[in-house]
Amino acid sequence: MKAFANLFRNLEETNSTTEKVNHLCDYFTKARPEDAAWAIYFLCGQNLKKVIPLRKLAEIACTYAGISSWLFEECYAVVGDLAETIALILPQPSAISFEYLSHWIESILLPLQEKSFQEQEKIIIDSWKTLDECQRFVLNKLITGGLRVGVSRQLVGRALALKSGQSTGVIAHRLMGPWHPSAANFSNLISAEQSGIDQSKPYPFYLASPLEVMPVDPNNSGTVVDSLIASLGLAENWYAEWKWDGIRAQIIKRQGEIFIWSRGEELVTDRYPEVVELIKSIPDGIVLDGELLAWQQDRAASFAQLQKRIGRKKVSKKLMQEIPVIFLAYDLLENNGNDLREQSLANRRHQLVALTESSKLRISPLIDFPDWNSLHAEREKSRALGVEGVMLKRKNSPYRIGRVRGDWWKWKIEPMTIDAVLIAAQMGHGKRSNLYTDYTFAVFDGDRLLPIAKAYSGLTDEELKEINQWIRNHGLEKFGPVRTVKAELIFEIAFDDLQLSKRHKSGIAVRFPRIVRWRKDKSIQDTTSLSEIKNMLPKIGTSDC
């Protein structure tokens, strides 16, 4: 446990990628296989189920620390993180535990879920007595199911590749899907030859990078305004497709079985039976990359419509009829059991087209454009078509792992924006836990202010500190962690889409809201009205979410 807590602290204290990989390598080199397996589980974003309600955990901490609940709440308000607050208020440990991470998880935390509250209280206090502050913090995060480590799965894969001598691609593929922590699985992960290969495993997804500037054809009279754009070269070397607003997914058909994986590495096969039925018509030994889309009126419906299907593990015939889902394929990663990822996109696309000719599989159409200016004109049609923009893919590109810049770009349409007023805030998390950084914004509906969006990204550290001080000086009421403020500060808010919604007071749900800038030049009279926002609504689509 001490080694894992030290790893957590070391990873949180550096922004250097090299240092993080070195810390991970050092840990995996020294850790027992069963401990390394659990470390991978947490480092890759998985967590235990919440062992005990947060309120109960706070009560136990108050009892052990001998402080009142009001004092604990005041400490929590300053620190901003429950696990850290508890770790800071507890008495010094009476002894130090040298138990391994796997012991803490398998012998203490997992059985704790089935205990009575009195038993849980005794076990948790006895545990705190044997751990230092850093270990207590990690233990508290594990108990609450809220452990977040500042590394990506890609960095974990790099460290494991260095330790094992395997390629990062091999390790990344073996890590795909849910990770089941065990010594055997860890040994299999880093071994030269895997035994018992899981036929359901998808490949690591290749992700496009955002393209912010309009490409200009070097053969035209336009000026190349950015070295990034200059690197794209001639338009004839690229494919362009629509950027669909659905769920990125891989579909696997191996040994007669069909698996559908979301980009979040969740197996969602049972949620889309109509897609499974479609895939039955293609040959065996196939892996497809593409998009799951709600499809209505012979076009892609809004993401809000698709959301009605996302959470349904059992899908009724009625729902399937109301919101049918299709799969649009845009890449072929495996054909007849052969890995095609190192082949050029042009070659993979040729095989994908041949596959669709002999099946009912739909393929994402290419956009015909002779030059960059023509593509720019096509891109302007995106919002009317219900897509997010266009994708640019170099014809000779292999299928890479993760977000590797250069070959795949997403050129999204500009977001919609409104001016809204700040009405409430709460403290952030992690390094922002002592600052008010999570904001609620509102617009006017007549004389009423109605909340329209919550956002926390887009401001500089200096602006956050200034706004935090303003909130502390102008706070009105507190409702738990939320503090309301006088409606004075105006912000420009961007979002990708909006839909009618029965669950929001404003009647509007916005998608991916983020702060563009603090409008110090505007007053509350300059905010966008609710009626103006409703005029921005797309012509189709209503959300119940």
Confidence of residue 491 (pLDDT cuts 50, 70, 90): very high
What residue spans define the domains of the chain? 2-144, 209-412, 416-543
Average pLDDT over residues 288-296: 93
User: How deeply is 8 buried, as exposed, middle or buried, from its count of CB atoms within 10 A (0-12, 13-18, 19+)?
Assistant: buried
* Bigger pLDDT: 4 vs 475: 4
- Would you list the DSSP string of 482-521? EEEE-TT-EEEEEESEEEEESSSTTSEEEES-EEEEE-TT
Confidence of residue 38 (pLDDT cuts 50, 70, 90): very high
Q: In the CATH hierarchy, which top-level class contains the domain 416-543?
A: mainly beta
| Residue keyed to tokens 């845009």 | 330
CATH topology for 209-412 is: D-amino Acid Aminotransferase; Chain A, domain 1 (3.30.470)
Residue 344's pLDDT is: 97
Span 332-359, pLDDT tens digits: 999 999 999 999 999 999 999 999 887 8
pTM to 2 decimals?
A: 0.73
Q: Tell whether the model's pLDDT for residue 184 goes beyond 90.
A: no
Residue 222's pLDDT is: 47
Confidence of residue 227 (pLDDT cuts 50, 70, 90): very low
CB atoms within 10 A of CB 278: 18
Of the candidates 460, 439, 461, 440, the one whose C-alpha atom is nearest the C-alpha of residue 452 is 440
What mean pLDDT, rounded, does the chain reach?
85
Q: Tell whether the model's pLDDT for residue 218 goes beyond 70.
A: no
417 is written with which tokens?
Answer: 């924006």
What residues pair up with 75 in beta bridges, in sequence order? none
- Looking at residue 180, the DSSP 8-state letter turns out to be -
Q: From CA 200, how far away is CA 253, in angstroms rounded?
A: 8
* Bigger pLDDT: 473 vs 150: 473
Q: Tell whether the model's pLDDT for residue 51 goes beyond 90.
A: no
- Looking at residue 105, the DSSP 8-state letter turns out to be I
Instruction: Determine the CATH number of domain 2-144.
Output: 1.10.3260.10
Q: Tell whether the model's pLDDT for residue 541 goes beyond 60.
A: no
Residue 430's pLDDT is: 62
Residue 238's pLDDT is: 94
Residue 226's pLDDT is: 46
Residue 309's pLDDT is: 86
